[in-house]
Chains A and B, each alone.
Chain A
Amino acid sequence: MPTDPLRPRVLGHLWSHFTWRHWCHTPWRTVILIGILALGVAVFFSIRLANRAAIAGFQLFSENVTGTSDLVITSPAGKLPVTVLPQIREALGDLPAGLFPVLESTAVLPSDTVAGHGQQTFEMLGVDLAALSNIVYLSGGSEVPLNVRMSPVTAASGPPIYVTRAAAEAHRWRENEDVQLTIDDSIHTLHVAGFLPSSEFSIQAPDRLIVIDLPALQQLTGQTEEIHRVELRIPSGHWESEWRRVARERLEKGSEERWLVETPDQRRESGRMMTQAFRLNLSILSCLALLVGIYLILQALEAAVVRRRPEIATLRALGVSPFAIRRAWQFEALILGLLGTVIGLLLGWALAQLTVRAIAQTVNTLYYSNTTEAAAWHWGEAALASALGILASGVAGWLPARDASLTPPAQMLQRGTRADGLKVLLKPWVGIVFVLLALAAHGAPAWRTAQGGVLPLGGYVAAFFWVAGAGILAGLWFPCIARLGGRLGQRVPELFYAASQLLQATGRHRLATAGLVVAVAMAGGMSILVGSFEQTVQRWLDQVMKADLFIAPQGSGNASSRNRLSEQTWRALIADAAVANAEVSQFHRIRYEGVPVILAGVGFEGALAPESGPIWLEEPESMDPPPGVDEIWGVMSEPFAYRFHHAVGDMIDVPTPTGVLAVRLVGIYADYGNEFGTIAIERETLARAFEDSRAARMAIHLRSGESLTETQERWARSFPGMVISNNRQLREEAVRIFHQTFAVTHGLKWIGILVAIAGLGLALASMLLERSRELATLRALGMTPARTARATAWESLGIALAGLVTGFLLSVVLGHLIVYVINRQAFGWTLLFTLPWQEFLILALGVCAVSGLVGYGIGRRQAASLRTGG
């Protein structure tokens, strides 16, 4: 490295007298450049913030009851008998600890909408209010999250509840007034006895939290003998951490498989784990936006190098070292990066407020209840996004800086130098190596995290190499396209000229194509994924949704809803004269091998019957054990089989409140309803094991001749706490959820395409700048600006064509990768591969049209602003 004593001074001078003046001279170019980088950073940052907010919703809820509880005692079966309390006491021995049993439930506002979507679900927490007031003593009076002042209830018509001020405001509830809420399948009158504290304490209550006395909630939900968890608080003081350790030890030793002991951190982790794959997919997608941003900056800086080449050559001739020039360019890139990052963070924060709702909605429907409505600023994420943004600008500045420093002193204007741009893109063998690496990565197994999460790393690596390889190989189309253009252009001189440009395509042409390839392939791959998914789900719905009416308690659109149909209700429905037959099903969320899964109870004759049953991947020969074999038989969903590596014939241990149930798995069925995995056993067996005969859903076939709408309306009147949907409504709801899930994906897809087309425009603009003398010649030869613009449009179209053809081929490969490798590894789903032709066609036409227009516009502008030099 040459030591240049004047270096810092030289650098400063280069910045203030050259770079800065160039920026001022072309302010819009600078603004757009910074804007592009800002967009990339913003997309990334907003998705990360929104993801974080969605998780935080879970966190808030799990932490809220006793503030930061020390330990949480739960059961793998999902609930604990109340008798567990003395057992826990016994296990703890003489340790001073407060025990706070919690029963969770959900409630919704009674509504008259039939489908019932978009309903607000309230989280009902049944806690021992008397015991809770003891926390004051336990924590030394410092921190009391639910310091419920129990005002004497006067003439209460229902059990007292405590609500947040926000909820009270939103629903115009007043203190000491009655409200109506649907819990399970019936409407109850409850009395608002007071408000939950909101801002005075370290942890804020989620707006939709309702606190109620434990026995009251047990009564309301008919779960008089049950609780969902016990929170444990150790009194604060000198011995706190020691006691916590001992408590944990003793509880674990004394558990005898009756309970699980976790710290709140561990509980939070499980929420994080549930949505891991979902969030990872979004993060990776948002990274793509940043990647395209890098690519654009690189292109723009390359163009700037070309524009300023005479100046660089002169500086070189005057003795400025290549090293100083290189530094000056890197510095310029860095400043761009810094500015773009700062703006990007602000923009991202604003964008997050928009995306957070979409993401929270999805999490709500698919994973767990979530009360998020705003994304909070997070310094850690901001630091990560900043680091990526500045790193991106550094990477993007590196090549142009090298290019600039390699400019020879003067003497370069002689022969119209066509800059090579990125030389890597001119070497097909590099592309072939990338493709080979991609093929190798295809087979790599998924990486399993300690909490049972699955990251399809091999798939992502393969996707990266495919994209890189295809981006380079896309340039191989240019000769073909040029020859085709040349032939068609015999009578069209503009096309003929454009073809001659493509025949000698530069690195810049290839870079523009590569950008389009990435964007088109990404969009195409996403379309294939969504299309395949939609097709598969549609087929699945056709198979499993044959009944006329579907019944569920209100609020069941929310994944963590605990509302159920009481036995009385579902029996009454079965007995109704209009019903030909009914399938009643129930499910519980349990933990299998420490991971959340769903244990379902279905009627084997009805739900699994060949005509109305699921799509079998491995169909059981029979659902009943042969005589003499005393076993419980069940079937599993595909994600379950995939996640836990279970095969047909395996015996598994299923935790239930009444003890472990040994189940032999005899079949695998397709299930796109959830990704946790489901074990389905006979409903009555489940009811016995859980001592709970309620039902989550009913599917009803009406007798022929019975009017669908009439029955629906009649039941809606007599069972106001239920959502009664007909086949069409439920399907529409399923499709709506489906589209909502992919809403963010679609948004990101279009941002990618937009940025790539901007890149194409930028590339064309810099190519035409390089060619300004050529354009002047064309003008002298009698070509009007309009004709020159048409030539540029053809050229742009040629680049777009190369990008589209490669992009679509690549998208099929990526689609295959996503459907058969990534999706399978992450979710364990088999999808039907579908090529969404119409979407591809629209995409192709759109890209062609916009590319043509961009080319025309830039050509026209350049041609109009020209003079014949020399």
Chain B
Amino acid sequence: MDATQAVPLLVASQLTKSFGGTPVLRAVDLEIGRGECVALIGPSGSGKSTLLHCLGGLERPDGGSLTFDGQPFAELTDEALADLRRRRLSSIFQFFHLLPTLTAEENIAFPLRLLGLDRQIRESRVNELLEQTKLTSRRAAFPHELSGGEQQRVAIARALIIHPAMILADEPTGNLDSTTGNVILDLIESLTETYETALLLVTHSREATRVCHRTLRMRDGQLDHAD
């Protein structure tokens, strides 16, 4: 137990990735501890999303190594990576990405279905998260019936329902007005704390960097510490 505590949750070293000869990530080194909250800023096109895709196992880096919880990604099959996303790694997106044919409640519960969990467990966890995200009254609504802020709250609840070890959030407030954005940021911050979840938050807002333990800056495919 102690041994695993000592190892950081996520370690990336010398990650590289290029698209069609154009390098997008050049030797990225990154460590994120358990329950740590890290902000990632940088100009558009600097490779932030690409980095997140690599960390989420959606894209394989061209070079370098990546370990999650002591497990090297390179040794994992696509199936194992998908399993990792089902159990330990959640994502939140700029455009919410809810499943349009499912209600708020069904959207939140969907990852538990993928895990084959029983209805009772599903319901109790969903109810808990609906309350925490103040969505209980909107539970039966479909995505197109929800406001942007509400949709993002559903997405947050969906990300947390599996009690992940880490959440990768790609500009979760980028498509919201600043007031709503701040509410969402506070919610993400408080809930990741409650669930002891690590957070890598890509953002443009100065506000966001305030809630995080650390801020990293991406520039031309390379990371440097901003503070």
Q: How far is the CA of A777 from the CA of B85 in the complex (A)?
A: 11
Count A/B pairs, Cβ under 8 Å. Answer: 80
Knowing A870-B93, A870-B170, say if A780 contacts B102 (CB, 8 Å): no
- B4 interface contact, C-beta 8 A: no
Contacts of B111 in A (CB 8 A): 781-782
Segment among B7-15, B32-40, B76-84 that sits at the interface with chain A: B76-84
- A367 interface contact, C-beta 8 A: no
Q: How far is the CA of A774 from the CA of B102 in the complex (A)?
A: 11
Q: How far is the CA of A776 from the CA of B143 in the complex (A)?
A: 17
Render B138-160 as a binary contact track against A, CB cut-off 8 A, 1 for contact. 00000110000000000000100
Knowing A500-B106, A504-B101, A777-B97, say if A490 contacts B119 (CB, 8 Å): yes
Contacts of B116 in A (CB 8 A): 491, 493
Q: How far is the CA of A503 from the CA of B113 in the complex (A)?
A: 18
Smallest CB separation, A862 vs chain B (Å) = 15
Contacts of B97 in A (CB 8 A): 773-774, 776-777, 780, 868, 870
A870 touches B94 (CB 8 A): yes
Smallest CB separation, B227 vs chain A (Å) = 27
Render A762-778 as a binary contact track against B, CB cut-off 8 A, 1 for contact. 00000000000110111
Within 8 A of A (CB), among B74-107: 78-79, 82-87, 91, 93-95, 97-102, 106
**Chain B residue, CB-CB nearest to A502:** B101
Among candidates A501, A779, A787, residue contacting B58 with C-beta atoms closer than 8 Å: A779
**Chain A residue, CB-CB nearest to B103:** A500
Among candidates B59, B78, B87, B144, residue contacting A784 with C-beta atoms closer than 8 Å: B78
**Chain B residue, CB-CB nearest to A774:** B99
B86 touches A782 (CB 8 A): yes
- A867 interface contact, C-beta 8 A: yes
- A171 interface contact, C-beta 8 A: no
**Chain A residue, CB-CB nearest to B98:** A777
**Chain A residue, CB-CB nearest to B170:** A870
Contacts of A500 in B (CB 8 A): 99, 101-102, 106
- B219 interface contact, C-beta 8 A: no
- A378 interface contact, C-beta 8 A: no
Q: How far is the CA of A503 from the CA of B59 in the complex (A)?
A: 33
Contacts of A780 in B (CB 8 A): 56, 58, 85, 91, 93, 97
Interface majority SS on B: helix, strand, loop or mixed? helix
**Chain A residue, CB-CB nearest to B171:** A870
Chain A: interface size category:
20 to 34
- B53 interface contact, C-beta 8 A: yes
Among candidates B56, B95, B158, residue contacting A773 with C-beta atoms closer than 8 Å: B95
B95 touches A782 (CB 8 A): no
**Chain B residue, CB-CB nearest to A496:** B113
Q: How far is the CA of A493 from the CA of B111 in the complex (A)?
A: 9
B82 touches A782 (CB 8 A): yes
Contacts of B110 in A (CB 8 A): 493, 497, 781
- B114 interface contact, C-beta 8 A: yes
B58 touches A782 (CB 8 A): no
**Chain B residue, CB-CB nearest to A489:** B113
- A423 interface contact, C-beta 8 A: no
Contacts of A787 in B (CB 8 A): 114
Smallest CB separation, A587 vs chain B (Å) = 68
Q: How far is the CA of A776 from the CA of B110 in the complex (A)?
A: 15
A782 touches B106 (CB 8 A): no
Contacts of A141 in B (CB 8 A): none
A493 touches B113 (CB 8 A): yes
Smallest CB separation, B141 vs chain A (Å) = 14
**Chain A residue, CB-CB nearest to B89:** A782
Within 8 A of B (CB), among A741-791: 773-774, 776-785, 787
Query: By CB atoms of chain A within 10 A, which of B86, B100, B110, B116 has the most?
Result: B100
Among candidates A491, A781, A783, A870, residue contacting B95 with C-beta atoms closer than 8 Å: A870
Among candidates B82, B87, B94, residue contacting A783 with C-beta atoms closer than 8 Å: B82
A782 touches B114 (CB 8 A): yes
- A717 interface contact, C-beta 8 A: no
**Chain A residue, CB-CB nearest to B59:** A867
Knowing A490-B119, A867-B58, A868-B93, say if A784 contacts B99 (CB, 8 Å): no
Q: How far is the CA of A779 from the CA of B111 in the complex (A)?
A: 11
Contacts of B170 in A (CB 8 A): 870
Q: How far is the CA of A501 from the CA of B93 in the complex (A)?
A: 22
Render A381-423 as a binary contact track against B, CB cut-off 8 A, 1 for contact. 0000000000000000000000000000000000110100000
Contacts of B114 in A (CB 8 A): 493, 781-783, 787
Smallest CB separation, A745 vs chain B (Å) = 41
Q: How far is the CA of A418 from the CA of B94 in the complex (A)?
A: 20
A867 touches B95 (CB 8 A): no
Query: By CB atoms of chain A within 10 A, which of B82, B93, B111, B116 has the most?
Result: B82
Contacts of A418 in B (CB 8 A): 100
B87 touches A782 (CB 8 A): yes
Smallest CB separation, A243 vs chain B (Å) = 82
**Chain A residue, CB-CB nearest to B144:** A415
A782 touches B100 (CB 8 A): no
Contacts of A504 in B (CB 8 A): 100-101
Knowing A781-B85, A782-B86, A784-B78, say if A867 contacts B53 (CB, 8 Å): yes
**Chain A residue, CB-CB nearest to B113:** A493
Contacts of B93 in A (CB 8 A): 777, 780, 868, 870
Smallest CB separation, A557 vs chain B (Å) = 61
A503 touches B87 (CB 8 A): no
**Chain A residue, CB-CB nearest to B112:** A493
Smallest CB separation, A297 vs chain B (Å) = 28
14 A-B pairs besides A496-B113, A781-B114 with CB distance below 8 A are A493-B110, A493-B113, A497-B99, A504-B100, A504-B101, A774-B100, A777-B97, A780-B93, A782-B82, A782-B87, A782-B111, A783-B82, A867-B58, A868-B53
Instruction: Give 5 nearest A-B pairs by CB, closest first.
Output: A782-B86, A782-B85, A493-B113, A500-B101, A777-B97
Residues of chain A at the chain B interface (Cβ within 8 Å): 415-416, 418, 490-491, 493, 496-497, 500-501, 503-504, 773-774, 776-785, 787, 867-868, 870
Residues of chain B at the chain A interface (Cβ within 8 Å): 49, 53, 56, 58-59, 78-79, 82-87, 91, 93-95, 97-102, 106, 110-111, 113-114, 116, 119, 143-144, 158, 170-171
List 12 A-B residue pairs with CB atoms under 8 Å apart, sorted by A's residue number. Answer: A497-B99, A497-B102, A773-B95, A774-B99, A780-B93, A781-B91, A782-B87, A783-B114, A785-B78, A787-B114, A867-B53, A870-B171
